[in-house]
Amino acid sequence: PAALTITTLSDWHIGTGAGIPGGVDRSVIRNPGGLPYMPASSLTGLVRASAKTIALALDDDALDNATPDGPWMRWFNWLFGGLSEQGERAPGPAAVKISAARLEPALRAVLVQE
């Protein structure tokens, strides 16, 4: 597996979904050591949504007229397992696997010291 670096250019927040309805503050997802991290499902969703937008645009140059069977959408379906937003196809195996993003072990060790 390849390691990637994620850089946030502003404040970020991936919450647990728990909290007071309508409230601004929600619990930040944390690992057992108490440090925030980005879950694989959140990262996969962000990458998948961006890749789909790009694939549709490359297939037709106009998102409204893009075909779901264009070459870039076939590539997208191969990468992400053929998932269909309308459930038309059964999910197939994905060629890409995205894991949770965590701080590097050396930095985690420094941050959790008491």
SS3 state of residue 40? helix
- Top pLDDT among 92 and 100 is at 100
pLDDT of res. 18: 66
Query: Element (H or E) spanning 41, and its range?
Result: helix 40-60
When pLDDT is averaged across residues 54-68 and rounded to a whole number, the result is 71
**CA pair distance 15, 38, nearest whole angstrom:** 10
pLDDT of 73 > 70? The answer is yes
When pLDDT is averaged across residues 32-56 and rounded to a whole number, the result is 88
Q: Which residues contact 34 (CB under 8 A, 6 or more apart)?
A: 112
Binned at pLDDT 50, 70 and 90, residue 68 comes out as: low
pLDDT of 109 > 70? The answer is yes
pTM (two decimals): 0.70
pLDDT of res. 87: 52
Binned at pLDDT 50, 70 and 90, residue 57 comes out as: confident
